[in-house]
Amino acid sequence: MSRPIVPAEATLELPAGKIRLLSGGDGPALLVLHHDVGSFGWTPFHEALAGRFSVDAPDMPGFGQSDRPDWARHPRDLAILLLQMLQDQALQQVTLVGLGFGGWIAAEMASMDHGRLRALVLVGAMGIRPPRGEILDQMMTSHIDYVKAGFRDEAEFERHFSAEPSPEQALAWDLNREMTARIAWKPYMFSHQLPQLLRGVRTPSLVVWGREDAVVPLSCGEAYEAALPHSRLVVVENAGHFVEMDQPAALARLIVEHSGEE
Amino acid sequence: MFIGYFTERPYQDPHSGYFGATGKPVMDLAMSNASYDPKLGADLYHRYFDEKIYAEEMGFDGLMLNEHHSTPFCMGGVMNAEAAILARITQRAKIVLLGNVLPLWDDPLWLAEDLAMIDMISRGRLVTGWVRGTGRESIAHNAASPYNWERFQEAHDFIVKAWTTPGPFRWEGEHYQYRYVNPWAWPYQQPHPPIWIPGVISRNTVKWAAERALPYVMLATDMEPTKTSFDYYHEVARENGHKSGTQNIAYLWKVHVDETEELAEATALKYVQGPSNPFLEGNQGIVRPFIQNLPGMTSRTNLLPTIVNRAAAQARGQLPQDAPKAPGDMFGTLDSQLERMTIITGTPETVIPKIRHVLEYLRPGSVFFWDGDGAMTHDDAMRSLRLFGEEVLPAVREIGKELGLQSSFEVDPMTGEPVPEAVS
């Protein structure tokens, strides 16, 4: 068995503020964008990808330890900042992986600069109004229960965070929720324009959904598949919204296959 | 001293199962309006107007209204409509709105017009207050909670300008933009109606009100933290060059007067029964703290002592408050509220000394007696109003004089100088 990869922690200074970044592994560039609840750190999912890719996992602007752009009013603002970050790093042929809310940001990035992407992977992504069902409203539940809802069951949540998450952890989720509210309050978690903009994205795209996703309906996955010209939808069994937490190896394998890094 | 009357105008439906001590739990933002009966609603609106008219007859100086949304404990979702009616059917009393939920308004110019009309129709009796609303209001009208405080401030600045600056002018702000501000309505009172700021939670809001010497009203908060907040207000106001005094502060709390001690106690119990405001302690309803503490709604470091411990704990997650309380729980809590005098009840003889105690301790120039709420009936409200008029109000006015409690209608809260009309 190979030795675990210890991620390097870095802070990028962008004109819009600091971005904190975890990086590890070797290979083609891969960027992972976290959920609205924030990053879960360097997880087995990142570890699995780092065996094939050079993985960057930033805290998106306004989340975690990255500076908050007070002026941002839409997920597209974050997408632009993250594209500027990729431009500064002169990264090309990037495999872009967006988890949940990060999937929305990733889709916005693809709509603006698909030429920079080698592959796009959207996992349980928000961003499109569900044709059927509703996106779970985190403002009508507690920020802790909302995180619970992302796992396939409560036992999985407790395995990671115990039944009583630490006050620091709960506060971090609360602050991340505030950033989400600043940019995605209304319409809640979707853009009317995005599906139209995605029609011009030529990047090979993989849309992944947890069979038991209780946060974003599978119908959104179908809508992404319909909107993205070069896409296919794969449903992962025994996974909730946080597919990368519930089925890290399976998701990593799908991404490796999709990006042709086998 | 200025004395106002307040009730939250609960939607009381004895057949709903939500009414009374043995009903279904009243859960914040978790009750469908499917059972709402507009015929009953009509009767209740009429009842509450009748009580307001009677309150004026009995000598109250002000009729206070408030606004909440999507909840049975307050029927004042469109408070300004009620105010407009009061403006025409009452003669003398101030119409005190505490208040319009500024951050909900996407079009505050419309609000400026509403209020100017009410002020004209009432011939200058409007006291207009602004609130930031609870999380419930932000949810109900889908106003992004992180911008609540910014929108509050900008809407205030805009409305004051719309009331005081001849148009047309443009407003290109952060949250509000207008290409043509020139409302064909002007407030009756010049330069504009008095603006009062009610609150319970936010230290930011007290500071903001104190910097502008806008009278500050504490809403049914415990005495000790209320005193602390008033002291903070006076401190900030004086730092900003205002002669802050009793004219700058007001206090609302629950007082019910009745014919016998037994009847008073039985009726006061109704404060915490039925569709009474569930986010006040001891009431039958259940609050979901995460709705009260929406993201970014309140600065985490700027809470008043009234609520700091509870809110801080609740903001971090679920507390036992989230679990349904047994219907019997509120009995003990009513006792506790009676002990702390956040509820006062009794005959005039026993009520007056308790009111004196509150006035001596807090020294507000204006007070509002909150009555006729929860499961109280029209008869309960009318008995109390009569006794207020016959015995309590005259005594309270005497106490006010003796303690030197002057309202903002006697002493200008900006300058600390006597108000000319009051002198004449």
CA distance linking residue B301 with residue B408, whole number of Å: 31
pLDDT reported for residue B17: 75
Residue B285: phi and psi, rounded to 5, are: -75, 165
Q: How does A75-87 read in b/e, with b if 16+ C-beta sit within 10 Å?
A: bbbbbbbbbebbe
Q: What is the pLDDT of residue B71?
A: 87
Q: What are phi and psi of A63, to 5 degrees?
A: -115, 155
Say yes or no for a CB contact (<8 Å) between B316 and A171: yes
Chain B residues inside the 8 Å CB shell of A173: none
B129 φ, ψ (degrees, to nearest 5):
-115, 155
Return the residue of A nearest to B28 by Cα: A140
**In whole numbers, what is the pLDDT of chain B averaged over residues?**
89
What's the pTM?
0.93
pLDDT of residue B281: 59
Integer Cα distance of A103 and A98 in angstroms: 4
pLDDT at B291 over 90: no
pLDDT for position B299: 63
pLDDT for residue B309: 40
A126 with A241: CB under 8 angstroms?
Answer: no
- Say yes or no for a CB contact (<8 Å) between B146 and A141: no
Q: Are B4 and B96 in contact (CB under 8 A)?
A: yes
Q: Confirm or reject contact between A68 and chain B (CB < 8 A).
A: no
Q: What is the pLDDT of residue B322?
A: 35
Distance of alpha carbon B201 from alpha carbon B219, whole angstroms: 10
Provide mean pLDDT across the span B342-363: 97
Task: Tell me whether B316 touches chain A (CB under 8 Å).
Answer: yes
CA distance B302 to chain A (A): 16
Q: Are B138 and B106 in contact (CB under 8 A)?
A: no
A181 in contact with chain B, both atoms CB, cutoff 8 A: yes
Which residues in B lie closer than 8 A to residue A149 (C-beta atoms)? Answer: none
Counting residues of chain B whose pLDDT is more than 90, the rounded percentage is: 73
Whole-number Cα distances in Å, B92 to B61, B116, B124, B168, B317: 8, 18, 10, 34, 48
- pLDDT at residue B19 is higher than 90: no
- Give dist(CA B106, CA B100) in Å, integer: 13
Nearest to A174 among B145, B289, B315 (CB): B315
CA proximity to B374, closest of B339, B403, B333: B333
For residue B240, give the 3-state DSSP assignment. coil
Q: Is B296 within 8 Å of chain A by CB?
A: yes
Which pLDDT score, from 0 to 100, does residue B297 have? 85
Is the CB of residue B93 less than 8 Å from the CB of residue B63?
Answer: yes
Contact B290 A141 (CB under 8 A): yes
Q: How many CB pairs under 8 A join A and B?
A: 48
| pLDDT higher than threshold 60 for residue B337 | yes
Q: Write the DSSP symbol of residue B34.
A: G
Rounded Cα gap, residues B65 and B99, in angstroms: 7
Cα Rg of chain B (Å, integer) = 20
Q: Is B146 on the interface with A (CB under 8 A)?
A: yes
DSSP state of B324: P
Quickly list H helices, B126-202. 135-140, 148-164
Please return the burial class of A2, using the count of CB atoms within 10 Å of its CB with bins 0-12, 13-18 and 19+: exposed
Q: Looking at the complex, report in whole angstroms how far the Cα of residue B296 sits from the nearest Cα belonging to chain A.
A: 6
Place of tokens 């709509």: A111
**In angstroms, what separates the C-alpha of A229 from chain B's closest C-alpha?**
34
The pLDDT score that the predictor gives to residue B290 is 78
Contact list, A154 vs chain B (CB under 8 Å): none
Q: Which residue has the tokens 């949540």?
A: A157
Q: Which pLDDT value is given to residue A204?
A: 98
Query: What distance in Å separates the CA atoms of residue A118 and residue A93, rounded to the nearest whole number?
Result: 4
Q: Is A18 on the interface with B (CB under 8 A)?
A: no
Does the pLDDT at position B320 exceed 60?
no
- Kindly report, residue by residue over B386-416, the tens digit of the pLDDT: 999 999 999 999 999 999 999 999 999 999 9
Geometric angle at alpha carbon A54, from A53 and A55, rounded to 5°: 95
Half-sphere exposure of B28 (CA within 13 A, CB side): 26
Contacts of residue A178 in chain B, CB cutoff 8 Å?
A: 146, 295-296
Q: For residues B115 and B102, what is the distance between their CA atoms, to the nearest angstrom?
A: 13
The confidence band for B20, taking pLDDT boundaries of 50, 70 and 90, is low
Distances from the Cα of B378 to the Cα of A193, B103, B385, angstroms: 54, 34, 10
pLDDT tens digit sequence for B112-153: 999 999 999 999 999 999 999 988 899 999 999 999 999 999
Of B341, B295, B251, B278, the residue nearest B24 (C-alpha) = B278
Question: How far A181 CA lies from chain B's nearest CA (Å)?
Answer: 7
Tell if the CB–CB gap between B29 and A140 is shorter than 8 Å. yes
Chain B touched by A177 (CB under 8 Å): yes
Q: What is the mean pLDDT of each run of 10 residues along chain A (262 residues)?
A: 81 95 97 98 97 97 96 98 96 97 98 98 98 96 94 96 91 94 98 98 98 98 98 98 98 96 71
Give the one of B145, B147, B316 whose C-beta lies nearest to A167's C-beta.
B316
> What distance lies between CA B249 and its chain's CA centroid?
13
Domains of chain A: 8-259 (3.40.50.1820)
Q: Which two tokens stand for residue A260?
A: 């042709």
Whether the pLDDT of residue B379 is over 70: the answer is yes
Distance to chain B for A163, nearest Cα, Å: 12
User: Looking at this protein, which amino acid is placed at residue A245?
Assistant: M
Per-residue confidence (pLDDT) for residue B287, from 0 to 100:
73
How many C-beta neighbours within 10 Å does residue B322 have? Answer: 16
Please give the torsion angle defined by the CA atoms of residues B214, B146, B74 and B38, in that order, rounded to the nearest 10 degrees.
130
Query: What's the rounded mean pLDDT across residues B166-180?
Result: 98
Closest among B396, B419, B406 to B363, alpha carbons compared: B406
Cβ atoms within 10 Å of B254's Cβ, excluding its own: 24
A187 to chain B, closest Cα gap in Å = 10
CB-count exposure of residue A90 (10 Å: 0-12, 13-18, 19+): exposed
Q: Could you report the per-residue pLDDT of B199-245, keeping only the tens digit for each?
A: 876 788 899 999 999 999 999 888 999 999 999 999 999 999 999 99
Asked if residue B191 has a cis previous peptide bond (ω within 30° of 0), the answer is yes
Interface of A with B in 115-154 (CB under 8 A): 139-145
CA distance A155 to chain B (A): 18
Please report the pLDDT score of residue B315 as a whole number: 38
For residue A167, what is the nearest residue in chain B, using CA coordinates? B316
ipTM: 0.94
Which residues between 318 and 357 in chain B have a beta carbon less than 8 angstroms from any beta carbon of chain A?
318
